[in-house]
Structure 1
């Protein structure tokens, strides 16, 4: 009997899984699965303990789901990617595997691992990879010169044109195999990695929970997404990123559900703004695949690597702990530290503050985010940090610097979000909460809240000078 092995990675679902569907296409094949945890690799990549717990919970859920289909899922653990190649090869020999199916990952180390697997096993079995993590394969949306776009807007136009011509299809979950359901394997031991328990109410485990949230969002909130998405006190975003990050939900499922409820989204109708966010996700993944140096913490704009960053540990710690004296920054950081998730507008605000108020290297912020976020993904995290630091593709101009106070007043006008996460400021009414020391002075109140660690206007001047010096440092003299 032919044996097909599905190697699960960032695709922890049975529905719309291209590799799994392909492996199950032959009704007479024996189909088995494997997931290989790599804790040392996770440490190297700053994987958040919350995301480790999130992954483990979903591997267990997938194991149960596949057992109902008659597909056993073996869970193994090794240190790193090199060891995972050896484990996979040994498993293929033991199980007499004829074909290996997996979905591509686009990070540099993951691509090297997959190349090593294909080199090791290619002579003994068939290796089939699929572009499952994206709507359109990297390299398929290019300029007239067949180059990857460096700016988002023309990429988005070209991307929508491709989608308008032909939508990527979803595939069904496999039918129950001829042998019928099986008993789930014995529970595997917890992964040898620090884990932080997830809030099950905020982030319920499983494909059904993800699909239910997607349906609810696309029924109504998505139509107001363009108006509500920038206000963290409003539950106006999908919050689907944790499921998308580890592949419990696919981007095709998101696209098809959106178009089912809002057929005009591709032509600018309701839902178009959220569709644009899905395309930003694609843009960063396509960029990462085209410029692997981004995986090595390299900026895309070379001169920005000459910015003289400050090595101020007290400031970095205050930023990490949400004790900068700027309420919108501190509330956002405490939201992430507590829940593992942060509103996207706030990610821009706190990122800008770290880089352009504190003049601290954006790579430190990028790594800290990865260590906290349940939805941490290298492509989006790196892309977002390089955007605020003005070092990457389609970045904010280097002289654009957010004012954290006015950002708070604009996007949390009544201060509801700030008071939710900074209870020490709960007595301060309305937008006065964004300048608490002015209010405290006026009312002769002592606050249990830090003074601002920098003065924004002076910090802005220093940052502009640092960027200008870096930009000019390698120019030829006149």
Structure 2
């Protein structure tokens, strides 16, 4: 029997449940398929650099699987519908009777899989689906009322109860297949020769390699994990794992990350080393946002989690939005964060919160515009986490920050970048200023450095946001009372 593995956002050979399942019978031949869906990616708002990185990761997977004598077909397809049609032709052509894949949770992806699975049932083809993005599958962590959690802290407690002792060791890489059988499979119908080659353009900051991902994981755990809690909010420090890019590509799994963390935390999910406790908590945040995506599919449709906040009178100021995008707000920590994003394809998590809250509260611009901008530039672009983070900052999401909590970017800068080291790194024109002045230069210093004046005054902006949210929620509550 020939087993087919459909790779998606799981571009790795180790701890890949679908691949492991397909390879468990040593007598079966195995073939992999992955689709380059650039048109679909563009519809989902991904930027060119992220799309190139996806293609790099596919080529890296092809090389990895070649060592196991498993051919991987990298097939261009415009849309998810094209993927299904192409896959059906391959299945019929090769007389495949079994398909395995790891589940994706977004609405379009789930619709694609439902249609494909329906066709497989009609053709009496077995389909095996696995959860690899979540260590505890969505829907299995619920309240005592059998409802999905909407607040992180009780979700975390329940998740730990479910996960403790249940999450096994990561699956190893499968054993190599029989070369003769696999070579014959690869040559059938000239499949390899009919598929256009994809281009690999190396990204110096983000090498697309499973080994690179594991090297970063182990280096973080050994060198920075214990100090993670104290240093993780300092953007000038190299204190975080920077694994989010590899997690979004599926070049490393959350279970692999957790396994390494547990090995440094005496096998405990919480209550041991503060640094690893905190990092494990961040992995659980990632799970929380995925569970929300499944329980509340409107999150995939540009809807606010809190329906009342759909009525917030967002400002439609293109000039302010452009200034924020280009790092010209006059608030150094915000501008430096935006410069990092565009230069590196990544932004420090503390800065994501500061930048997102500045856009939604200081400028009162719709969080969806910021979410789309981040989605375009971030190499760890991921709907669940990106949407969750933006709605948290905008006070529209599950367990979001209360609308009246508005970060002062200057005090945030002074607290988390005390010497202005990060600011000077990305705004070199401010490097000549004394460290204390980099957070909020005076007018003369701005003129001398050629740096913008603030586009909005903090006190005014804060009050404007408070008034807008308060009026919206008051009106919504009044409407609910009238309905009663």
With the shorter chain as reference, the TM-score category is: over 0.9
**Structure 1 position 65, deviation (Å):** 0.9
Q: Could you say which residue in structure 2 is the equivalent of 1:454?
A: 456
Query: What SS class does the counterpart of residue 269 from structure 2 fall into?
Result: helix
Q: Does structure 1 retain, via aligned residues, the 8 Å contact 2:367–2:390?
A: yes
Deviates more, 1:49-58 or 1:175-184: 175-184
Cα distance change on mapping 1:296 and 1:431 into 2, 3 Å: same
CA gap 1:336/1:351 in 2 versus in 1, 3 angstroms: same
Aligned to 1:368: 373
Counterpart of 2:73 in 1: which secondary structure? strand
Question: SS where residue 122 of structure 1 aligns?
Answer: helix
Establish whether residue 402 from structure 1 lines up as the match of residue 404 from structure 2. no
Instruction: Name the counterpart of 2:31.
Output: 32
Deviation at residue 69 of structure 1 after TM alignment? 0.5
The aligned residue for residue 7 of structure 1 is 6
1:262 maps to: 265
Are 1:128 and 2:89 matched, yes or no? Answer: no
- In structure 2, the CA distance between the partners of 1:173 and 1:188, relative to structure 1 (3 Å rule), is farther
The structural deviation recorded for 1:188 is 4.4
Q: Distance in 1 between matches of 2:434 and 2:74?
A: 53
Segment drifting more, 213-222 vs 12-21 = 213-222
| Residue in structure 1 matched with residue 240 of structure 2 by the alignment | 237
Question: Are 1:429 and 2:434 an aligned pair?
Answer: yes
Tell me the SS of whatever aligns to 1:288: helix
Question: Does residue 77 in structure 1 map to residue 76 in structure 2?
Answer: yes
In the TM superposition, residue 438 of structure 1 has moved relative to its aligned partner by 5.2
Give the CA deviation at 1:140.
Answer: 1.1
Q: How does 1:289-304 map to 2 (within 5 A)?
A: 289-304=294-309
Contact 1:265 1:275 (8 Å CA) reproduced: no
Distance 2:444 2:154 in 1: 46
Pairing 1:350–2:358 present: no
Structure 1 residue 123, shift from structure 2 partner: 2.3
Where 1:165 maps in the other structure, the secondary structure is: coil
In structure 1, the partner of 2:162 is 162
Using the TM superposition, give the Cα deviation of residue 353 of structure 1 relative to its aligned residue in structure 2, in angstroms.
0.3
Distance (whole Å) between structure 1 residues aligned to residue 357 and residue 97 of structure 2: 51
Whether the 8 Å contact between 2:332 and 2:423 is mirrored in structure 1 is yes
Runs (4+) of structure 1 exceeding 3 A deviation are 180-188
> Contact 2:32–2:70 (CA<8 Å) still a contact in 1?
yes
Structure 1: distance between partners of 2:44 and 2:345? 16
What SS is found at the alignment partner of 1:143?
A: coil
**Partner SS state of residue 431, structure 1:** helix
Q: RMSD of the TM alignment (CA)?
A: 1.8
Find the partner of 2:209 among 206, 211, 217.
Answer: 206
Which SS does the other structure have where 2:35 is aligned? strand
Q: CA deviation at 1:432?
A: 1.1
Q: Name 1:189's counterpart in structure 2.
A: 197
The CA deviation at 1:309 is: 0.6
The TM-score normalised by the length of structure 1 is 0.95
Local SS of the residue matching 1:222? coil
- Give the superposition deviation at 1:439: 6.5
Unaligned runs of 5+ in 1: none
May I ask how many residue pairs the two structures share in their alignment? 469
Give the Cα separation in 1 of the matches to 2:388 and 2:248. Answer: 15
Q: Equivalent residue for 1:66?
A: 65
CA contact (8 A) 1:428 1:439 kept: no
* Contact 2:36/2:55, CA 8 A, preserved across alignment: no
Give secondary structure in 1 for the equivalent of 2:392: helix
Unpaired segments ≥5 residues, structure 2: none
Counterpart-to-counterpart distance in 1, 2:74 and 2:269: 40
Change (3 A) 1:382 1:154: same
Q: Determine the C-alpha separation between the residues in 2 that align with 1:439 and 1:450.
A: 11
Aligned partners of 1:87, 1:6: CA distance in 2, in Å? 14
SS in 1 for 2:227: helix
Please give the alpha-carbon distance, in whole angstroms, between the structure 1 residues aligned to 2:10 and 2:160. Answer: 24
Displacement of 1:265: 4.2
* Deviates most, 151-160 or 378-387: 151-160
TM-aligned CA deviation for residue 190 of structure 1 = 3.1
Corresponding residue SS for 1:436: coil
CA distance in 1, matches of 2:178, 2:203: 38
* More off after superposition, 102-111 vs 264-273: 264-273
Q: Distance in 2 between matches of 1:156 and 1:297?
A: 26
TM-score normalised to structure 2 length: 0.94
Provide the C-alpha distance between the structure 2 equivalents of 1:360 and 1:80, rounded to a whole number of angstroms.
31
Residue 267 of structure 1, CA deviation:
3.0
Whole-Å Cα distance in 1 between the matches of residues 318 and 354 of structure 2? 20
Deviates more, 1:259-268 or 1:298-307: 259-268
* CA drift at 1:289: 0.8
Question: Partner residue of 2:465?
Answer: 463
What is the deviation of 1:264?
A: 5.0
CA distance in 1, matches of 2:60, 2:95: 26
| 1:166-212 residue CA offsets vs partner (Å, 9 max, x unmatched) | 22331111101022686996794337xxx9x6642x32220011011
| Alpha-carbon distance between aligned partners in 2 of 1:102 and 1:294, rounded to the nearest angstrom | 24
